[in-house]
Amino acid sequence: MGGETLAFVEAFPRFLVWTGAAGIMLVAASTIYVLLTPWKELALVKSGNAAAGFALAGAIVGLAIPIASCLASSVTLVDLAIWGIVSLLIQLLVYRLVDVLLTDIPRRIEEEEAGAAVVLVSAKLASALIIAAGLWDPVLQRF
C-alpha cells in the first residue's frame, strides 16, 4: 500500500467520529432551536410558508457555522465537544435575543413576509460568523 492509502486508512475512522460528533451536536441544537422558537416553523414549512422555510434554513446554517469552526480548530474530541456545546449554547442565546429584539418578526414570518425572513436570517448568520471567528484558532492554541 502507498503512503496515501495508509494515511487514509488511519485517518478515515477519526474523520467519521469527529464529523459524526459535530453532526450530532448540530441535530441536537437544531431540535432545541425548533422547540424554542416562538412560532411553529416546521408546521409553517409543511403548509408551504416559504418565509418560514428560509428562516429555518438560515438558523440551521447559522448553527452549523460555529460547529464547523470548532471542528476545524479543535485538537481533541473532548475539545470539540466542549467548545461545540459552548458555541451552540451561545448561538441559541443569541438567536433568542434576536427573536426578542425583532419583536414583530414571528407574526411577519407567519404571514409569509420574505423581508422579515431575510432580516432574521441575516442577523442569525452574522452572529454565527462572529462566534465562529472567536472560536477559530489558526495556531490550534486555546486562550
Q: What is the pLDDT of residues 42-71, one digit of tens each?
A: 889 999 999 999 999 999 999 999 999 999
Distance of CA 92 to the CA centre of its chain: 9
The pTM assigned to this predicted structure is: 0.85
Contacts of 4 (CB under 8 A, 6+ apart): none
Cell numbers given for 102: 425583532
Q: Which conformational region is residue 140 in: left (phi greater than 0), alpha (psi within -120 to 50 degrees), or beta?
A: left
Question: Nearest CA to 59 among 22, 29, 39?
Answer: 29
Average per-residue pLDDT for the chain: 87
The yes-or-no verdict on residue 140 having pLDDT over 60 is: no
Tell me how far apart the alpha carbons of residues 51 and 44 are, in angstroms, rounded to a whole number.
9
